[in-house]
Amino acid sequence: MDQPTVGGDIATGAACVVGAVIGDFVLVPHGVYVPESVAGTLDSPAVMPVIMFTALGLLGAVLLAKALKARHGAAVAAARSIDDWRRAGGMLAICALYLGTIFVVSLPIASAIGLFAALWYFGERKWGLMLLVAIITPAALWLFFVYVVNVSMPQAIFELVNVYGIGAEAMWRTVA
Amino acid sequence: MNLEALVSASALLADWKVLLGVVAGVGVGMVVAITPGLTGVMAVALALPFTFFLDSTTSIGILLGIYVTSLYGGSVTAIMIATPGTPNAAATLLDGYPMARQGRAREALEMALYASLTGGLISTVIALAIFPIVATFALSFGPPQMFALIVFSITIIAGVSGASLVKGFIAATLGFLVATIGQDVIHGSSRMTFGSSELLAGLHILPVMIGLFTVPEIVIRCVESRGVRLQAFKGDLGPGLTLGQYLRLWPTYLRSSCIGSLVGALPGIGGAPAAFLSYFMAQRVDPHPERFGTGAIEGVAAAESGNNSVCGPALVPMMSLGIPGDTTTAIIMGALIIHGLAPGPTLFASQPEFVYVVFLLLFVCLIVLLPAGLLAIRFAGLVVKVRPQILFPVVLVLAAFGAYAIRNSPADVVSMFAIGALGFFMRIQAIPAAPFAIAFILGPLLEENFRRSMLMSGGSSAIFFESALSVTFLVLAVASAIATVFAHRRIAGFTKLTSG
């Protein structure tokens, strides 16, 4: 799938030009706070973003021109199959779902859901194994980060356990 | 060199507690390095309180063990699952992962280990032998010189641009832009944060590297898995590295060690730029530069010996001038102060044996790293046995946990997936990821040193031509850019020839 196409180059070039225009005229003026004392000088915090957006636009224009020239030439690379796009889109959608659920049910639970979905999408069909991997992997990672390397992690379901007075830590101590 | 002090320093190391401390440090460092999300800095900081109750030599042994191993260990996950355990391993991934996919994982892993050891040993010898010279040299680097050095380093971008220079520069531009997100280093004003306090600190390098390399790989492997039994690796780890292969690359180790030593001695640059610069130089002098990025063992050797070469020289400014070059050395300096040692110009005069103890401990750490690394390679063999249908989804979750753990922030997971989506579209358009990574790492350094220079000179760019050092680097940058463009034409010509 990772083979460039002339159509793709045209789209990329156009996206760079559009991105550069949006960057220079919308994002930088509204997204970069420039102190009055340095406005218009080389010391301004806006200098680097402006230079880079402008460079992106110019490079996009060059890519666009080269791609358009190539389209008038001999061969045009074969388009990617719809199935490839669908499959890549599906995987990206699972990533987006995973990310979205992190904010709702926190990282460990979201990881179990996301992992189960990804396993299924990758073609695994042993349901018992999928369930086991989807539960054990996030739980093991959570326990490792929280109790072995002492990194603060969201409590997720363990928070509920705390609410009901059992206490994740006490439970862990009992297990250990 | 003070031989008497060297001998008494050696005697200090012949203590089982010191050796046990080094082994413990190397063990902790290995766990940290192969776990995305845990960094050497984090581990050294966490280990610091445990050293309060130990003697100074054992304490430094533990901290150096973690430091040295964390520089190497990230390469294991970079090679096996396209996930750099630490940012230093991003350059190793460029050739290491393709080697693993070609059934040459053991060769790549062993080369990474031996190159790390070789680079580390050479650079420690350099640091020990020319301790005062390196310290003075590092001190002569002000913002204009640093700017010139980074400009020179940025010419790497053209070298890793693949078939299209335009696409390489587009990737670099995107990398520079992403690096500008966050608080401005000079004035503290926000850039592209749009009111988000989570973005004020900028995007962390590790989620960006994982997003750039790992997420697109998972999506591509998912596409490839359609209707076929996906195979992660060919057979097992494959054949190991031969002595001949190792010895053949001596010039690479030497060159990369010199680069790593120079970069390491300069404050605030670190292992990742050293690895990329070494990789680029290896590609530049190779008679077949087009092989780089497709599984060239020279790429792994250069990147690993380059990034591991920073550790010895990085201690030099801290020990001799009392200036820590990065966060890890700052913590180690803190440990020295806690134990009653005052790093600075008087340390070598007042306690020369302790200076030697530190460098000898580095040697010991590197020696202990060898069995630890071989053990890590054995465990890496387990990855081959996991079916890809399970491996890649698990890597996705590991990456998310790793991204979260760095700063306990969901924003880092968001940035990992956002960069992952961008990386996927870049990849399907054959826009190379390496220039993006280099620009993201070097961009803030370039901007900061440029603006500091401007502040120093009152806005005059003549400051870049006032010192011989900065002029030398700028001339080298121009020469390098011209040579790289010509070399790139040669590579592009060769690629067209072989593909057409």
* Interface touch A118/B193, C-beta < 8 Å: no
Positive or negative, the CA dihedral B429, B430, B433, B436 is negative
User: What tokens appear for A147 in the block?
Assistant: 């109790």
Q: How far is CA B486 from CA A92, B167, B299, B480, in A?
A: 39, 17, 20, 10
Q: What pTM was computed for the model?
A: 0.80
Amino acid in the structure at residue B294: T
Number of Cβ within a 10 Å radius of residue B239: 12
Across the interface, of B173, B174, B392, the residue whose CB is closest to A122 is B392
User: What tokens appear for B360 in the block?
Assistant: 């000898």
Q: What is the pLDDT of residue B497?
A: 47
The shortest C-alpha distance from A159 to chain B (Å) reads: 17
CB crowding B99-125: b at 16 or more within 10 Å, else e: bbbebbbbbbbbbbbbbbbbbbbbbbe
ipTM topping 0.95: no
A–B interface: beta-carbon pairs under 8 A:
193
Residue linked to tokens 């640093």: B146
Phi and psi of B84, rounded to 5°? Answer: -65, 120
Residue linked to tokens 């990772």: A2
Give CB contacts under 8 A, 24+ apart, made by A35-43.
A35/B187, A35/B189, A38/B187, A41/B459, A42/B451, A42/B454, A42/B459, A43/B186, A43/B451, A43/B454, A43/B455, A43/B459
In this predicted structure, the answer to whether residue A74 has a pLDDT above a threshold of 60 is: no
Which of B30, B429, B456 to mutate to probe the A interface, most A CBs <10 Å? Answer: B429
- For range A112-141, the mean pLDDT: 92
B130 neighbors B257 (Cβ within 8 angstroms) = no
Distance CA B455, CA B457 (A): 6
Q: What is the pLDDT of residue A50?
A: 95
Residue linked to tokens 């190779």: B286
Strands (E), B180-225: 182-183, 190-191
* Interface touch A52/B37, C-beta < 8 Å: no
Chain A residues lying within 8 Å of B187, measured CB to CB: 35, 38, 45
- For range A96-101, the mean pLDDT: 92
Closest CA to B375 of B12, B16, B30, B120: B30
* Interface touch A45/B174, C-beta < 8 Å: no
CB crowding A7-23: b at 16 or more within 10 Å, else e: ebbbebbebbbebbeeb
Nearest residue of B to residue A10 by CA position? B429
In this predicted structure, the answer to whether residue A66 has a pLDDT above a threshold of 50 is: yes
Nearest residue of B to residue A27 by CA position? B192
Phi and psi of B386, rounded to 5°? Answer: -80, 135
- For range A93-116, the mean pLDDT: 91
- Name B341's Cβ contacts closer than 8 Å, sequence gap at least 6: B56, B347, B351, B354
pLDDT tens, per residue, chain B with 500 residues: 667 777 777 777 778 888 898 999 998 888 877 777 667 777 787 787 777 778 888 888 999 999 888 888 888 888 988 888 777 888 899 999 999 888 899 999 999 999 999 999 999 888 887 766 766 676 677 889 888 888 887 776 766 666 788 898 899 999 999 999 999 888 888 999 888 888 888 998 888 988 988 899 889 888 877 655 555 555 578 888 899 999 999 999 999 999 888 888 776 677 788 888 899 889 888 888 888 888 899 999 999 999 888 888 888 877 877 777 677 787 888 888 878 877 776 777 777 788 888 888 888 999 999 999 998 888 887 777 778 888 889 989 988 988 888 888 888 999 999 999 999 999 888 888 888 988 888 888 888 888 889 888 888 888 899 888 889 888 988 887 787 777 666 655 555 544 43
* Interface touch A103/B223, C-beta < 8 Å: no
Helix axes B40-51, B16-34, angle to 10 degrees: 150
* Interface touch A56/B447, C-beta < 8 Å: no
Domain ranges (residues) in chain A: 6-71, 82-175
* Interface touch B414/A99, C-beta < 8 Å: yes
Q: What is the pLDDT of residue B176?
A: 93
In this predicted structure, the answer to whether residue A121 has a pLDDT above a threshold of 80 is: yes
Across the interface, of B187, B414, B454, the residue whose CB is closest to A45 is B187
C-alpha triplet B109, B111, B113: angle, nearest 5°: 70
Distance CA B388, CA A95 (A): 17
Chain A residues lying within 8 Å of B189, measured CB to CB: 32-35, 45
Across the interface, of A66, A102, A121, the residue whose CB is closest to B222 is A121
3-state secondary structure of B186: coil
Distance CA B408, CA A150 (A): 11
Q: What is the pLDDT of residue A95?
A: 93
User: What tokens appear for B20 in the block?
Assistant: 């046990």
Across the interface, of A2, A38, A107, the residue whose CB is closest to B427 is A2
The shortest C-alpha distance from B431 to chain A (Å) reads: 9
Which of A30, A33, A82, A122 to mutate to probe the B interface, most B CBs <10 Å? Answer: A122
Chain B residues lying within 8 Å of A107, measured CB to CB: 400-401, 404, 410, 413
Closest CA to B153 of B453, B462, B442: B442
Q: How many domains does chain B have?
A: 1
Phi and psi of B262, rounded to 5°? Answer: -65, -50
For B441, the domain range is 3-499
Residue linked to tokens 């998972």: B218
